[in-house]
């Protein structure tokens, strides 16, 4: 009763008196049913809505099970908004690039010299996102750890970025992480503005950088292309005004970001952690609507009520509109970065939605979602679901990568399926490659390379099809068969375990024994093994003997030592990694 009176904006005795005139005797601390509350609400000029209905509405609005990994989260899709309600919002930019190319330094200079209007000093705290002003217009920067985090957010359907700022050092040029950043930005479908940084450093050669970028499809306007390139120096501050101006121009021409500030808020969690005295807090970028103190919120499997909002300078605010980053307190738990946060009508609706999502997450862990694979390609194409086969290519050397790319290009375009390389690189298949394949709905092709531990785990968790080959024509043959619907299951090697060689023992007349420590999974007596050295395969053989001390054993599990002898390999070195596989038929 007391809560009902508070929500109706009247005193408790007034509600009690009205109910008594209708034959309902209730004390101020007594609970009443929905029909009684609705009767009182109607009398005092309000319309009551059942929380069950509110929950159902929230569930329907989000598609509920909260499935991550869609191309775009339904709550962030503006196609259902009335165009008349949409107004321009500040552009959001993420800074990507190779390590040590000056991303952090550039952001620090921008932040210190272009802080938002009204801020007298520097930024008082780091919240992972902030706004700066240029010619009276705000720009929001997302300070992410790198393109992996950028793509991990997209994997949950959270497209937080309008523009990618690619930072390339003028003295260093395009590096591996630069190429990865380009691929991830293209995968996100966002325009790229290039900042050629460190132009005042000894050995700087901006023209060489422009040529390297042109070779990768980013042709600057200086060379007759359409890529905005700005020469900058974090040390002297040169080019900062030009960079900010180019961000605004790119936003106005190519992005035209808009939002409806008058609706309930929807945003993305940039960062979240547990803080002493305040409990779980999250940095949220509001993308549509306005987030207010007191709103009931849900993000993934976490719910709560907004107790306080802090802007990027640490000041308390009552509300945050589109493209505004704020720190939110009042959550029930720490939120996974990249989750979409939105407002619900009631606390019960938020709690129920969070519980349903937690249950859905457990179910997905038991039965992971499978994405496109070569075996399912023909069926997807027949149903009109797949118009493009996206590939991420990894090889042990540039020459192999070029040969693989060339052979795939010769396949041509099928009427039903077109082949597109969305990412490529040299070296082992990494977690970044798997994340890129996840958000691009691509298949990863590894040529003479293996995955690292995190990549293998990510592929299993995300349901990404990762395939490994050592003969080029096997790659093109499988793709051709898949496109034409003739793909047949093949015998494949399924990862079983991994051990590190700690010491090598040799006995005259016998094969070398690799004294090894099992790092992951298990090593079994009937396994086929690959010996990896610096990520490259140096041997492929079956196990001839597996021992624990002097005893022959069938298997050795994680965290135990063993002696491994291979049938056709004796050149072990300390630090080699032995990966064990069993051969199974692949039916995916």
The Cα–Cα gap between 561 and 577 comes to 14
Partnered with residue 440 across adjacent β-strands are none
Start-to-end CA distance of the chain, whole Å, equals 58
Q: Confirm if 265 and 295 have CB atoms less than 8 A apart.
A: yes
User: Hey, which residues are catalytic here?
Assistant: 100, 103-104, 147
Contact between 302 and 331 under an 8 Å Cβ cutoff? The reply is yes
Q: What is the DSSP secondary structure assignment for residue 216, as one 8-state letter?
A: T
The DSSP result for 141-210, as a single string, is: EE--S-HHHHHHHHHTT----SEEEEEEETTT-S-HHHHHHHHHHHHHT--EEEEEE-TTSTT--HHHHH
Q: Quick one: DSSP state of residue 262?
A: T
- Among residues 119, 115, 121, which one has the least CA distance to residue 133? 115
The token pair that represents 141 in the structure block = 């920067």
Phi, psi of 370 (to 5 degrees): -100, 135
Q: Which residues are CB-neighbours of 15 under 8 A, at least 6 positions away? A: 1, 4, 5, 8, 40, 44
Residues 408 and 420: beta-carbon distance below 8 Å: no
Asked if residues 287 and 266 have their Cβ atoms less than 8 Å apart, the reply is yes
Distance, CA of 7 to CA of 1 (rounded, Å): 10
Q: What is the C-alpha to C-alpha distance for residues 150 and 161, in angstroms, rounded to an integer?
A: 9
Longest dimension (CA), the chain: 104
d(CA 523, CA 543): 9
Of 506, 504, 522, 528, the residue nearest 514 (C-alpha): 504
What is the pairing mode between strands 418-426 and 388-395? parallel
> Quick one: tokens of 234?
């974090």
Instruction: Read off the DSSP letter of residue 264.
Output: B
Burial 528-553 (b: 16+ CB within 10 A, else e): bbbbbeeeebebebebeebbeeeeeb
Q: 26-43 in b/e burial notation, b at 16+ Cβ within 10 A?
A: beeeeebeeebbbbbbeb
Closest CA to 520 of 496, 536, 544, 545: 496
Q: Which among 350, 297, 289, 358 is positioned nearest to 328, based on CA atoms?
A: 297
User: Is 487 within 8 Å of 466 (Cβ atoms)?
Assistant: no
Distances (CA, A) of 529 to 217, 458, 498, 550, 574: 40, 22, 9, 21, 17
Q: Distance of alpha carbon 143 from its chain centroid, rounded?
A: 14
* Structure-derived torsion over alpha carbons of residues 208, 209, 212, 214, reported in degrees to the nearest 10: -110
């Amino acid at each position: 009763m007391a809560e009902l009176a508070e929500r109706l904006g009247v005193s408790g005795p007034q509600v009690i008196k009205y109910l008594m005139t209708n034959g309902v005797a209730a004390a101020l601390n007594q609970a009443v049913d929905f029909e009684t509350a609705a009767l009182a609400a109607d009398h005092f000029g309000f319309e009551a809505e059942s929380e069950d209905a509110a929950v159902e509405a929230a569930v329907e609005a989000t598609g509920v099970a909260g499935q991550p990994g869609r191309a775009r989260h339904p709550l962030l899709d503006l196609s259902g908004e009335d165009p008349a309600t949409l107004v321009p919002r500040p552009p959001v930019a993420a800074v990507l690039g190779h390590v040590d190319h000056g991303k952090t330094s550039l952001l620090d200079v921008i932040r210190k010299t272009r802080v938002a209007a009204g801020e007298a000093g520097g930024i008082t705290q780091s919240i992972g996102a902030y706004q700066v002003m240029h010619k009276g217009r705000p720009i929001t920067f997302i300070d992410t750890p790198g393109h992996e985090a950028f793509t991990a957010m997209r994997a949950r359907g959270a497209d937080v970025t309008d523009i990618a700022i690619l930072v390339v050092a003028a003295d260093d040029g395009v590096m591996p992480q630069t190429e990865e950043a380009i691929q991830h930005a293209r995968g996100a479908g966002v325009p790229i503005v290039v900042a050629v940084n460190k132009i005042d450093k000894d050995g700087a050669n901006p023209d060489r950088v422009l040529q390297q970028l042109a070779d990768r499809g980013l042709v600057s306007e200086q060379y007759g292309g359409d890529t905005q390139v700005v020469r900058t120096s974090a040390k002297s501050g040169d080019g900062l005004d030009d960079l900010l101006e180019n961000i605004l121009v790119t936003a106005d021409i190519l992005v035209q970001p808009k939002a409806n500030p008058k609706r309930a808020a929807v945003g993305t969690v940039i960062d979240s952690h547990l803080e002493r005295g305040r409990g779980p807090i999250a940095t949220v970028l509001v993308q549509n609507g306005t987030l207010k103190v007191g709103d009931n919120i849900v993000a993934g499997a976490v719910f709560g009520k907004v107790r306080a909002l802090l802007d990027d300078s640490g000041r308390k605010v009552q509300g945050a509109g589109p493209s505004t980053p704020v720190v939110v307190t009042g959550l029930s738990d720490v939120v996974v970065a990249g989750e979409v946060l939105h407002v619900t009508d009631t606390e019960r609706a938020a709690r129920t939605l969070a519980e349903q999502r937690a249950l859905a997450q457990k179910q997905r862990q038991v039965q992971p979602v499978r994405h496109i694979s070569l075996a399912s390609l023909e069926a997807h194409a027949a149903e009109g679901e797949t118009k493009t086969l996206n590939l991420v290519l990894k090889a042990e050397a540039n020459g192999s990568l070029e040969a693989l790319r060339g052979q795939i290009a010769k396949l041509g375009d099928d009427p039903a399926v077109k082949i597109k390389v969305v990412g490529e690189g040299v070296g082992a298949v990494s977690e970044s490659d798997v994340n890129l394949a996840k958000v691009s709905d691509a298949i990863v092709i590894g040529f003479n390379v293996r995955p690292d531990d995190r990549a293998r785990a990510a592929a299993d968790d995300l349901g990404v099809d990762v395939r490994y080959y050592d003969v080029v024509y096997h790659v093109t043959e499988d793709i051709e068969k898949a496109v034409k619907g003739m793909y047949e299951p093949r015998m494949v090697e399924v990862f079983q375990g991994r051990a590190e060689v700690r010491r090598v023992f040799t006995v005259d007349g016998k094969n070398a024994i690799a004294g090894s420590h099992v790092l992951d999974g298990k090593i079994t007596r009937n396994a086929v093994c690959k010996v990896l050295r610096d990520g490259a395969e140096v041997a492929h053989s079956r196990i001839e003997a597996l021992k624990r001390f002097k005893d022959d054993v069938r298997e050795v599990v994680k965290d135990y030592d063993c002696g491994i002898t291979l049938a056709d390999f004796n050149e072990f070195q300390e630090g080699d990694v032995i990966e064990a596989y069993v051969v199974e038929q692949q039916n995916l």
